[in-house]
Every structure is written in structure tokens, then in C-alpha cells.
Amino acid sequence: MIWLEYLESINTYFNIEILQPNDSIIKTKILNDNQVIIILDGFIKILKVFTNGEVICTQLLQKDHIIKLKNSKNSFVNYYYTATAITKTVILTTNITELKKKNIKIGKFSYYNFSKNNSMIQILCHKNTKKRIAQLLLILSKEFGKIQKHNIIIPFYISHNTLSQIIGSQRVNVTRIMNELKEKRIINYNNQQVTIYNVLKLSQY
């Protein structure tokens, strides 16, 4: 674990917490802005939640990524951000002030976010729901997939509601498309994992 080893090497105090699926970190005005939150293991979605109930997924973060929830201090803003665990997730929190005392540049902590942080762009660049779901499943296969025989196993449950939030589509459409993929034997899924039977067909779906 890059961050754990690094912070231990510079004798910096930190806390480790475990988030269960659907547990959330909500940024409020009283949340300590001096905190740095780092994912040691797991998968998290960053949601922009509007007061009218609309929810937009802005980022997908995983191991070694930094959780940044920058809410506006303007009292007229009609949204806030949450970080919600998709899988069981281990996070580390430390204090920016302590890092500054050790002459650690905060910019260093942003480097790892750029390498894999374009997942949402890859998904949302597609106009229709089918392509977005296919792209998301391909990304999950690449980042988390385990090869078993001729199949790729994504070793965790991802609900249709979570899929709909990530790709920005109605849940009923997601359910219809996932069932269609299942009927065509391109994928299979249950409450423990997603199995990709045919990556080529999925990429052409």
C-alpha cells in the first residue's frame, strides 16, 4: 500500500477506518478541511447530490486514490458531495497540517488521482445507455477483473441503482439492458459477482 508505507516512513499519525457497501462520507461545513482521506482498498463513487433529489456521479475512485470533497462555502449553493462505498472499503485519514510541518508538498498527494481518474469521461462520452453500461463493465473488468477459464469475474456485487447513478440513466433502463446482456450470454450476475463471458461482444454491444 503506497500511502500506508509512505506515511509510516515519515512517522506521520493516521487513522484507518472501514466502510461497508453504501456507507458514505458526507462533506459538511464542519468537516475538517485539514483532513486527507486516502483509499487503501476498495471502490468508491463520488456523488453530487442536489436539493431537488437529482444525483450525479462525478468520480470513481479506488486503491491509492485520494477522496476530495470540496463543497462550496456559498450558502446559496443547492448541492453537496458524498463519497459512497460500492464495495467494502478501507480508508486512511491524516492531517494536512502535520504533513506541512514535515515539508511534504500536498501536490504530491494528487499525482495518483490523475492516472486512473478519467473513468467517468470514458463512460459519459457515450450518448446511449447501452454503450455507457458496456464501457463501465469493461472498466470494471480491467481494474478488478480476475480471469477464470475463459471468463472475467468482477468479484463484487454492484446494484442496478448504483449502475444507474454512475452512468446517469434511469434504473428501469439499466435493468432492461442488464437482463438483455444476460439473455444474450454476454454476461451473468448475482448478488456476489459479475461474470463477463464475451469481452468482444460486450465491447461491440
Distance of CA 40 to the CA centre of its chain: 13
- Indicate if the pLDDT at residue 154 is higher than 80: yes
Specify whether 106 is located in the same domain as 127: no
Q: Please give the grid coordinates belonging to residue 161.
A: 441503482
pLDDT of residue 71: 61
- On the CB side of 70, CA atoms within 13 Å amount to 4
**pLDDT the model gives residue 4:** 77
Residue-level pLDDT at 90: 96
Contact 136, 163 (CB under 8 A): yes
pLDDT on residue 113? 54
Instruction: Compute the average pLDDT of residues 24-45.
Output: 79
196: containing domain: 121-203
Of 10-19, 106-115, 189-198, the least confident:
106-115
The last residue of one of the domains, among 116, 144, 165, is 116
User: In the listed set 80, 100, 116, which residue is the last one of a domain according to the structure?
Assistant: 116
Beta bridge partners of 188: 195
Residue 68 confidence class, pLDDT cut points 50, 70, 90:
confident
Task: Please identify, among 116, 149, 174, the residue that sits at the C-terminal boundary of a domain.
Answer: 116
97 in the same domain as 12 = yes
Eight-state DSSP code of residue 53? S
**Distance separating alpha carbons of residues 142 and 118, to the nearest angstrom:** 14
Res 111 pLDDT > 50:
no
Number of compact structural domains in the chain:
2
- Partners of 16 in the beta sheet? 92
User: Residue 79 pLDDT more than 90?
Assistant: no
pTM to 2 decimals? 0.84
Same domain, yes or no: 24 and 110: yes
More confident residue, 6 or 159: 159
Same structural domain for residues 61 and 91?
Answer: yes
Residue 107 pLDDT grade (very low, low, confident, very high; cuts 50, 70, 90)? low
8 Å CB contact between 66 and 112: yes
List Cβ neighbours of 155 (8 Å cut-off, separation of 6 or more).
144, 146, 192, 193
pLDDT the model gives residue 110:
54
Residues 93 and 127 placed together within one structural domain of the fold: no
3-state DSSP percent of the chain in helix, strand and coil, to 5? 35, 30, 35
69 close to 61: Cβ distance less than 8 angstroms: no
Q: 12 with 41, same domain?
A: yes
Does 156 lie in the same domain as 84?
no
**CATH number of the domain encompassing residue 105:** 2.60.120.10
Over range 42-64, report the average pLDDT: 92
Question: What's the confidence (pLDDT) of residue 117?
Answer: 56
Same domain as 107, residue 9? yes
Looking at the structure, do residues 134 and 111 belong to the same domain, yes or no? no
155 and 168 belong to one structural domain: yes
Q: What is the CATH classification number for the domain harbouring 148?
A: 1.10.10.10
% of the chain at pLDDT higher than 90? 55
Mean pLDDT in residue range 94-99? 78
Residues 3 and 5: their CA atoms lie apart, in Å, by: 5
Residues 83 and 106 in one domain: yes
